[in-house]
């Protein structure tokens, strides 16, 4: 009799565990970790964070357990984190996604645009720039290979007849590059804002070229997720895109408040953030259709440089359906 009762109780416990899993186990809910970089390019993210939109809106959903974020120094490491599932959403440069997809067969998708232009080429204050040939025999620090800045810089130098083998392009994060310029260990840096404004304010350099002069209205940062996340949590992705679109609109309509929010998150002084917004040639946008051609051109450029084994198509890089569903 005792044996029969034990078996019966065990069966009930197993059934209870199985049933509780159907009501909302790990397979049906998720944590959402949002990757971002400390750049004024991504002020839509910091704006939504300080307004409480990420935590409040997403955690109200049955599918979401918790919302947190993780800061990255540049795009390549963030693309790896997105591909591995360490983060679920990424504010990231468009270019770093390309190697992750083309080389590693990671199925990552751009679901919205974030920003265009907004980087600066900086040399020491006492240096005299003439034309792009100035950089032959010199060193330039920028984000690592595969980043927007690396891709754009190399294409601009090549298009202007500069032999890349004669330029020492060093991959660094923003802080390292700023220190290297200050110490004189590199001759120039090409970095996203607010770094150019920080360098100028410190008296360590001068901006000789904005990235929009290298490639007018070029795509830079995007909002990306994995195809697996889209398949498993389409309503969460739709809400993420909605929050981003609304935060972009808010930042454009309230730049001073958005600057304060960015300063709160990154600890960069509010005066520098405001100066960066005044100095840069960038713009916050959310429409992915605007950047489609530029991103495909990055894929072609990386293929031509031998960084990836094949050039990717728009269909492999974009899913615009969530943006279109919200704004139309």
Residue 128 maps to a domain:
yes
Domain assignment of residue 11, yes or no: no
Same-domain pairing of 79 and 130: no
Q: How far is CA 128 from CA 179, 204, 223, in A?
A: 20, 14, 38
For 238, other C-beta atoms within 10 Å of its C-beta total 17
The answer on 316 and 182 residing in a single domain is: no
In a domain, 165, yes or no: yes
Domain that holds residue 111: 31-117+218-327
Point out the domain boundary residue: 192, 214, 236: 214
Structural domain contains residue 234: yes
What CATH number is attached to the domain comprising 124? 3.40.190.10
- Tens-level pLDDT at each residue, the chain (328 residues): 433 433 333 343 334 333 333 333 345 899 999 999 999 999 999 999 999 999 999 999 999 999 999 999 888 899 999 999 999 999 999 999 999 898 877 799 999 999 999 999 999 999 999 999 999 999 999 999 888 899 899 999 999 999 999 999 999 999 999 999 999 999 999 999 999 999 999 999 999 999 999 999 999 999 999 999 999 999 999 999 999 999 999 999 999 999 999 999 999 999 999 999 999 999 999 999 999 999 999 999 889 888 899 999 999 999 999 999 999 9
* Whether residue 144 sits in one domain with residue 125: yes
Alpha-carbon torsion angle 43, 44, 47, 50, nearest 10 = -100
Cβ count within 10 A of residue 264: 13
In order of 36, 142, 193, 264, the CA distances from 152 in angstroms are 20, 10, 15, 30
Number of domains into which the chain is organized:
2
Query: 125 and 235: one domain?
Result: no
In a domain, 170, yes or no: yes
């Amino acid at each position: 009799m005792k044996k029969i009762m034990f078996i019966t109780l065990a069966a009930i416990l197993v059934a209870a565990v199985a049933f509780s899993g159907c009501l909302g186990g790990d397979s049906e809910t998720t944590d959402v970790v949002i990757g971002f970089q400390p750049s004024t390019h991504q002020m839509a993210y910091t704006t939504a964070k300080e307004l409480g939109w990420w935590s409040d809106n997403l955690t109200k959903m049955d599918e979401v357990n918790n919302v947190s974020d993780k800061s990255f120094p540049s795009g390549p490491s963030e693309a790896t984190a997105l591909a591995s599932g360490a983060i679920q959403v990424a504010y990231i440069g468009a270019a770093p996604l390309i190697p992750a997809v083309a080389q590693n067969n990671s199925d990552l998708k751009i679901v919205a645009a974030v920003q265009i232009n907004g980087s600066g080429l900086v040399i020491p204050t006492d240096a005299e720039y003439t034309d792009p040939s100035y950089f032959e025999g010199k060193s330039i620090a920028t984000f690592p290979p595969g980043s927007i800045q690396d891709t754009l810089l190399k294409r601009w130098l090549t298009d202007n007849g500069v032999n890349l083998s004669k330029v020492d392009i060093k991959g660094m994060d923003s802080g390292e590059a700023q220190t290297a310029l200050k110490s004189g260990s590199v001759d120039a840096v090409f970095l996203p804002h607010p770094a150019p404004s920080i360098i100028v304010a410190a008296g360590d350099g001068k901006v000789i070229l904005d990235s929009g002069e290298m490639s007018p209205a070029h795509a830079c940062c995007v909002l990306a997720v994995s195809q697996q996340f889209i398949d498993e949590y389409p309503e969460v992705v739709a809400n993420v895109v909605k929050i981003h679109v609304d935060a972009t609109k808010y930042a454009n309509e309230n730049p001073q408040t958005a600057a304060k929010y960015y300063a709160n998150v990154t600890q960069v002084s509010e005066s520098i953030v405001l100066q960066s917004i005044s100095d840069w040639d960038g713009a916050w946008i959310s429409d992915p259709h605007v950047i489609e051609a530029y991103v495909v051109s990055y894929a072609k450029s990386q293929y031509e440089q031998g960084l990836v084994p094949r050039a990717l198509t728009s269909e492999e890089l974009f899913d615009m359906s969530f943006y279109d569903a919200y704004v139309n």
